[in-house]
Amino acid sequence: MKLRTTLGATVGALALILSTAGSAQAAQGEFHYKYVDGYGQERHVTLHDPHGGKCINLHAVGDDEELPGYGPHNNTDAAVTVYVGASCQGAEWRLKAHGKPPKDTLEVRSVRFDAPPVK
């Protein structure tokens, strides 16, 4: 009987850990940036609840052969490092969680979000 109770408690604890592990991987909130498309039109992109801890090459600007994005705004619960180069290379800047937007002169091609705080 004790073995069954212990096994049930262990399985329940494991299920709880696995169900919360995914949410700890994503920064909660939105990250915004702008870019100019091939037709000269300014476009706005939003990443919703971006994945933390890995390099993200940004849509339409994440290649060193393309014009970089600009005006990043971090409105997530995790700090982010923005990079001028693709694949999180080159000059970098840190943006605070829920920080004020920097000037549009800050260029960006890739980002890496810190692992968000565990709640």
Domain residue ranges of the chain, discontinuous segments joined by +: 26-113
Q: How many helices and strands, by DSSP H and E, does the chain display? A: 1, 8
Q: Is the CATH code 2.60.20 the one for domain 26-113?
A: yes
Q: In tens digits, what is the pLDDT along the chain, a chain of 119 residues? A: 454 443 344 444 434 344 444 445 899 999 999 999 999 999 999 999 999 999 999 999 999 999 999 999 999 999 999 999 999 999 999 999 999 999 999 999 999 999 865 66
6: enclosing H helix or E strand? helix 2-21
Q: How far apart are CA 30 and CA 89, in angstroms?
A: 23
pTM passes above 0.85? no
**Closest to 52 in 3D by CA, of 86, 19, 28:** 28
